[in-house]
Chain A
Amino acid sequence: MPVSVTNSKLIYDALKECDIRLVSALPETWLVHLIRSAEEDPEMILVRLAKEEEAVGISAGAHFAGVKSAMLMQNHGFLASINGIVSFAHLYKIPLLMLISYRGSFGERDPWQTQGGNVTEPVLRALRIPYFFLDALDTVKKRIRQAQTLAESSLQPVALLLTRDLMWEEQ
């Protein structure tokens, strides 16, 4: 599978360095190694979801408990979580660190991913969710740290878009 193992590991290690102790996830191709890392890590609470919106409630519960968490989801999962983000995370000022795989963007071969790719950034902007890209090895660690810092200080959702350049190794 051409999902980058090395870069997934880099992302996971950066999350650990931010003291993330709970990860919620709904599997998708680009996230498999990240989820596996969480599964094999006895220090990490991994919550496998039925639908991504659940993760908003779970991360809120973790925040109340004083535990830092991250959400792993595809952009379509982000789209499926919007009411939870608005009616819980925004309404109650809950910090969320969302790692969103940016499917349907440049280079996408799966036709079914392409509409979600078109609307991901416009929807993030409409929701006024600060976002940045994870697209190069040398900035992964810093950007995850910065996103986590902003989520905690602003008490709001912050998104990192996992790009093809970082996650996929073309064959």
Chain B
Amino acid sequence: MLRLDCLRSVYPELENGLVVTIMGAVAAELHSLGHRPNFFYLQHAMGLASSTGLGLALCLPEQTVIVFDGDGSLLMNLGSLTTMARYRPKKLVHVVFDNESLLSVGGFPTATSTGTDLEGIARSSGIPRVITVRSVESFKAAVSDAMQGSELTTIIAKVEAKGPAGYVTDLALLENRFQFRRHIQSLKGR
């Protein structure tokens, strides 16, 4: 299963939420499908995409918030699972692309390649719904269910360690950040 195919399968639905991604391949691939003002790419600060999603979800409980995390990033901030589970915002969807690799820095294997079980960690942290998916069809179904459901969900998507040729996009970091905030403020007027 390729991450790009997973992202493509849910891309139309992402219009209905606020999306936060980690850096590297995830950001570049989502951007390659077509940037939208409700997408924020956290191009550094590894581990904090899930915390950002939690902050958004706690402040905007009516909004669906989707975080595209990765195994390397989540392993840097496992405590975030416990904080998310503690407050369990109903409309927060936490997707973890697990390619068992720190792909963008040369493909070094992470601990999930030697047996660390992110589904088990998420479940034991108290995340109410946790699911592992291995096909694009089941990925699409899991994300759709979580977006329409009313329970904090972590989806572990086992993907191949393959990414795009480059990671730099033509969207400046600050442009993305200001556009994202302005988009959220515009939603309040509706």
Contact = CB atoms under 8 A, between A and B. Distances in A.
A45 B79 CA distance: 19
Interface in A46-97: 47-51, 53-67, 69, 83-84, 87-88, 91-94
B55 A49 contact: no
Contacts of B54: 47, 54, 57-58, 61
A157 B105 CA distance: 29
B185 interface: yes
A65 to B, nearest CB: 4
Interface stretch (B1-9, B45-53, B145-153): B45-53
Contacts of B42: 88
B24 to A, nearest CB: 13
Using C-beta atoms within 8 Å of the partner chain, give the interface range for chain B: 35 or more
A106 to B, nearest CB: 32
A62 B173 contact: no
B80 A54 contact: yes
Contacts, number: 109
A88 B77 CA distance: 15
B60 interface: yes
B83 A47 contact: yes
B83 A50 contact: yes
B102 interface: no
A22 interface: yes
Contacts of B57: 61
B79 A49 contact: yes
Contacts of B58: 22, 45, 47, 58, 61-62
Given A48-B83, A92-B173, A92-B174, A65 B45 contact: no
Range class of the A interface residue count:
20 to 34
Contacts of B48: 53-54, 56-57, 60, 84, 88
B35 interface: no
B55 A50 contact: no
B59 A22 contact: yes
Given A57-B48, A64-B184, A91-B44, A49 B83 contact: yes
Given A49-B79, A64-B184, A66-B184, A57 B50 contact: yes
Contacts of A60: 48, 52, 55
Interface in B131-180: 173-174, 177, 180
Interface centre among A45, A54, A62, A66 (most CB of B within 10 A): A54
A50 B59 contact: no
Contact of A57 (B43, B55, B86, B174): B55
Interface of B: 18, 20, 40, 42-60, 77, 79-80, 82-83, 86-87, 173-174, 177, 180-181, 184-185, 188
Across chains A and B, which 4 residue pairs bring their CB atoms closest together, nearest first? A61-B55, A57-B51, A50-B79, A57-B48
Interface of A: 21-22, 45, 47-51, 53-67, 69, 83-84, 87-88, 91-94
